[in-house]
Amino acid sequence: MMQARLVAMEEGKEPSLPIRSSQPRALPMRLLQFFLIFLGLAIAFMSLSMFMSRHYRFDNVIIPVTNSRIHPCFRRPNDFKSWIKPPLNVWHRMNDSELFWRATFDPQIKSYPFKRVPKLAFMFLTRGPLPMAPLWDRFFKGHEKQYSIYVHTLPMYNESYPSSSVFYRRQIPSQVAEWGRMSMCDAERRLLANALLDISNEWFILLSEACIPLQSFPVVYLYISKSRFSFMEIYDDPGPFGRGRYNPNMEPVVNLTDWRKGSQWFEINRKLAVDIVGDDTFYPLFEKFCRPACYVDEHYFQTMLSIRSPHLLANRTLTWVDWSRGGAHPGTFGKDDMTKEFFKKIIEGQTCIYNNQPSSACLLFARKIAPNALPALLEHSSEFFGY
Ligand SMILES: *[C@@H]1O[C@H](CO)[C@@H](O)[C@H](O)[C@H]1NC(C)=O
Ligand SMILES: *[C@@H]1O[C@H](CO)[C@@H](O)[C@H](O)[C@H]1NC(C)=O
Ligand SMILES: *[C@@H]1O[C@H](CO)[C@@H](O)[C@H](O)[C@H]1NC(C)=O
Ligand SMILES: *[C@@H]1O[C@H](CO)[C@@H](O)[C@H](O)[C@H]1NC(C)=O
């Protein structure tokens, strides 16, 4: 039927095709048959290639943006893999409202219908460069399936990591974050939200550019993943820099007795990360009633999580810092401090509670380490830290 119509079309289309009268009549008929077979094959081939393009995934094909009319043919099908695969690129065009909303989608069924290797999300809150990047590169080497990395910088900063670095192209869309202001908590929530987009991230670690790891990756992974509690420094300080910063306008959502304080650097699980990104109860209160000299990054998450999920908190930090010198900022340590004894004192000189048991393994990271310490750390990392 179709062939007949095609013949008719061809005949109608080419009425003036000159056929030399000297040729026998059988030849054009055979030519026509040959042509029809060829046409049939061409149509079959075309349908096959359209079928293939719809049913195979073209993840790695780069399609020019200008060719927008062709897009629908190559769009990734709505299959299961497209849900569980992390975005290839951490850069995106969502604004915070869109990103936070998207990030708080969380599965309700807790057994995963695929092999999920839970990952640690390392989130670096920085102004720009990461002077300790080469040390971190060494720390992460060989553990590619167990971590992911996110870097928040000042918005104008352009990264310049070599493609071999774990930090290459891990910069997320960022905004200005000021110490002690809500923009700092916004940056932390932005890091959490970006990391939540990868369904395999199970623990979320907030670090600064002045942090270094004190243990090897396997030790860090085990310590955090086997903990029943999330790590955030949280305490009730009755003095002027603790309860003294409380504003009674927060009642009854936050009462004076609920007010908590602690350092901003944390290691939390996925549930608490979703709670922080999704919070719209405490946020407006802290934004309005905790402004300098109330440093909101020392109170917001600490107070909110203590009210909502006290049973999930270890109330202590894994990041060593030295306040012994006094003042508004902790001590910074440079190349002359980088000795075996210095780190031995930090790593071995502690006692704490881990999973309800007394423990002497209490710290995984240290700050603040100055950039000039890097060469000494690279030279001695295996002796000091075992990586
Ligand atoms: C994000 O974009 C949406 C839609 O344009 C807009 O309604 C919303 O206010 C934006 N949010 C922010 C934080 O800019
Ligand atoms: C970063 O790169 C963009 C585009 O390549 C450029 O427009 C911008 O000026 C750069 N910013 C800095 C701080 O170098
Ligand atoms: C604060 O106090 C009020 C009145 O005593 C109480 O109803 C409310 O639950 C308290 N808030 C919290 C977070 O405990
Ligand atoms: C942390 O503090 C809360 C009270 O704010 C308490 O309920 C919880 O048991 C503490 N966590 C641990 C591990 O002691």
Which residue, among 98, 83, 149, has the nearest Cα to 120 in the 3D structure? 149
pLDDT of residue 12: 39
Q: Give residue 186 CA to ligand 3 midpoint distance, Å.
A: 26
pLDDT of residue 46: 65
- Ligand 3 neighbours (beta carbon < 6 A): 252, 255, 258, 307
> Could you give the count of Cα atoms lying within 13 Å of 10 in the half-sphere of its Cβ?
12
The helix-helix angle for 340-348 and 374-385 (nearest 10°) equals 50
User: Which residue's CA is the closest to the ligand 3 atom numbered 1?
Assistant: 252
Q: Give residue 317 CA to ligand 4 midpoint distance, Å.
A: 13
Return the ligand number nearest the Cα of 159. 2
The helix-helix angle for 96-103 and 270-278 (nearest 10°) equals 140
Kindly report the length of the chain: 387
Q: Could you tell me the mean pLDDT of each successive run of 10 residues in the chain, 387 residues long? A: 43 41 54 70 64 48 45 64 85 96 93 95 97 98 97 94 95 95 98 97 98 98 98 97 97 98 97 98 98 96 98 98 87 95 93 97 97 98 97
DSSP one-letter string for 110-157 = -S-SS----EEEEEEE-SS--TTHHHHHHHHTT-GGGEEEEEE--TT-
Q: Give residue 374 CA to ligand 2 midpoint distance, Å.
A: 27
Cα gap 377→132, rounded to integer Å? 9
Task: Tell me which DSSP letter residue 343 carries.
Answer: H
Q: Would you give the distance in Å from CA 90 to the centre of its chain?
A: 7
Return the ligand number nearest the Cα of 175. 1
- Residues 99-135: tens digit of each pLDDT: 999 999 999 998 999 999 999 999 999 999 999 999 9
pLDDT of residue 298: 97
Cα gap 30→305, rounded to integer Å? 83
Structure tokens at 138: 């060494």
Q: Give residue 273 CA to ligand 2 midpoint distance, Å.
A: 32
- Residues 44-56: tens digit of each pLDDT: 666 655 555 555 4
Alpha helices in 213-299 (DSSP H): 217-225, 270-278, 283-289
- Residues 2-18: tens digit of each pLDDT: 444 444 333 334 444 44
Gyration radius of the chain's alpha carbons = 30
Mutational pocket test of ligand 4: of 307, 313, 352, the residue with most ligand atoms within 8 Å of the beta carbon: 313
Mutational pocket test of ligand 2: of 153, 157, 158, 171, the residue with most ligand atoms within 8 Å of the beta carbon: 158
- Ligand 2 neighbours (beta carbon < 6 A): 156, 158
Task: Tell me which DSSP letter residue 369 carries.
Answer: B
Cα gap 146→166, rounded to integer Å? 13
* CB 82, CB 76: distance < 8 Å: yes
